[in-house]
Amino acid sequence: VIHRIGSLLPDDGALPEYLQLYIFDTDNELENRKRAFTQGSSSLAIPDSIIVQLIEMMDKHNHLAKTFRHARDRFKETGTIEYSITLVSQTNLGRQYDLPSASEIGGLIVGDLSATSVGRDIVVELKSSALQRINDQHPLMMSLQYPLLFPYGETGYNQRLPYEGPQMSKIRREYMTMREFYAYQFQTRPTEGMTIIKGGRLLHQYIVDAYTATEQERLRFILLNQKKLRADLYSNLCDAVESGDSDATQLGRKIILPSSFTGGPRYMAEKYQDAMA
């Protein structure tokens, strides 16, 4: 699953869509949103009152929406000045469980981008025909994709969320994993709201997104820790060349999936052997 984000303004002659609806031609925002959602199909018609209520809710409570509205105001004031929005990947780490402020998650940059803007931050340019891929580790990825599940623009998982397990737990580490974060989100608690759990079909899509992001995180860990996993003990490229596969350029880079990786070939072989024993 790949998530992408477009530019702040549509190309010349194109209709606004997605985040552009917060910035471009907001005098006709209701009609623009209806057109973008229904694509001209009468079977998908939604009452105007519901759309207006959702717009007002997002403008009042969602910090991402406030950031985009700020860009709209600047666009109306300046008109021709080039600018972009940066959605930072690392907010104030001392307040992990508070709602973010608009100044924490986004900043309006006037002028060209600099080399310091490269990284996991999402940089939304003024105009661009290309779509930018959103890093699956960005804490705002899910809030951008599912504004109705996260109406306040809450930050999601990041690699520096502190781990707090039971007092008797034998686990000794500083930060929680992505799997633990999403497992916690999908549990119901009588003292907390159930916006995500009651999301219906939107919840189903969110679960798929969370699963694929978690799987990518596990694969990334395996890729970066091949030596710790003792991958050097397996057959490598040198063995392949010595056995007659002389064209090493066709072999590619080997990444060893350990038996602890659920669904991998060694995992399946191990479970088969256990079942047959």
> Over the stretch 47-57, which tens digit does the pLDDT of each residue have?
889 989 999 99
Q: Both 48 and 170 in a single domain?
A: yes
Q: Both 148 and 37 in a single domain?
A: yes
The per-residue pLDDT of the chain, averaged, comes to 76
Name which of 57-71, 104-118, 171-185, 217-231 the model is least confident about.
104-118
Q: Both 10 and 127 in a single domain?
A: yes
Tell me, rounded to whole angstroms, the distance of Cα 96 from its chain centroid. Answer: 17
Q: Both 127 and 260 in a single domain?
A: no
Tell me, what's the pLDDT at 150? 92
Tell me, what's the pLDDT at 97? 46
Name which of 166-175, 177-186, 247-256 the model is least confident about.
247-256
Q: How is 207-275 classified by DSSP, letter by letter?
A: HHHHHHHHHHHHHHHHHHTTTTTTGGGS--HHHHHHTT---GGGT----PPPTTSTTSHHHHHHHHHHH
Name which of 12-26, 188-202, 220-234 the model is least confident about.
220-234
| DSSP character at residue 168 | T
Q: Both 183 and 237 in a single domain?
A: no
Tell me, what's the pLDDT at 77? 75
Dig out the tokens for 109 from the structure: 């940059």
Please count the structural domains in the chain. Answer: 2
Q: How much of the chain exceeds pLDDT 90, in percent?
A: 17
Contacts of 114 (CB under 8 A, 6+ apart): none
Q: Both 172 and 239 in a single domain?
A: no
Domain residues for 10?
A: 4-224
Tell me, what's the pLDDT at 160? 86
Is the model's pLDDT at 165 over the cut of 90?
Answer: no
Q: Both 69 and 96 in a single domain?
A: yes
- Start-to-end CA span in the chain (Å): 38
The Cα–Cα gap between 135 and 211 comes to 15
Average pLDDT on 117-131 reads 58
Considering 198, 224, 250, which residue would you say is the last residue of a domain? Answer: 224
Q: Both 46 and 135 in a single domain?
A: yes
Q: Both 120 and 157 in a single domain?
A: yes
Q: Both 156 and 246 in a single domain?
A: no
Tell me, what's the pLDDT at 116? 42
103 or 125: whose pLDDT is higher?
A: 125
Is the model's pLDDT at 191 over the cut of 90?
Answer: no
Tell me, what's the pLDDT at 115? 38
The Cα–Cα gap between 183 and 211 comes to 10
Confidence grade of residue 251 (pLDDT, cut at 50, 70, 90) = low
Tell me, what's the pLDDT at 94? 45
